[in-house]
Amino acid sequence: MKEEYKNDKFLVALDAAGADVDGALNRFMGKTSLYKKFMKKFLEDRSYPDMLESLAGHDPEEAFRQAHTLKGVAGNLGINNLLAVLVPMVEVLRAGKEPSEEQVSACKVEYGKIVDIIEKNWNE
């Protein structure tokens, strides 16, 4: 993590949790305020709850769309641990199959971790 961001509790917490803060900030042209704004908006993104709803309704096609969207969001924000569990899930869903309980559980855990970090460490 770059020295200039070491005093930002939020960015440090994300980095410690495995997020690629430096890579994400490069995509956000080094604008920490913009990156943090999008991290806060992550909480409002409907792709995760909609994915779970589609999985519960045994609709792998819609679950694929939602998981693919969530994968893109996680990738852009540098949320690597969530991205790592979403990649294989998306491929299973792309094939029209349902992911395993272990895959869904891992996704829930990683999603919960990032939400917890945002909620506990958010500072404007």
Tell me which residue has tokens 């294989």. Answer: 88
Residue 6 is given by DSSP the state T
In this prediction, residue 2 carries a pLDDT of 66
Q: What is the pLDDT of residue 48?
A: 98
* pLDDT tens, residue order, the chain (124 aa): 567 677 888 899 999 999 999 999 999 998 999 999 999 999 999 999 999 999 999 999 999 999 999 999 999 999 999 999 999 999 999 999 999 999 999 999 999 999 999 999 876 5
CATH code of the domain occupying 7-121: 1.20.120
Helices (H), 1-124: 9-16, 21-27, 32-42, 47-56, 60-77, 80-94, 101-121
Domain boundaries, the chain: 7-121
What is the spatial distance between Cα 61 and Cα 76, in angstroms, rounded to a whole number?
Answer: 23
What pLDDT is recorded for position 123? Answer: 61
pLDDT at 1: 52
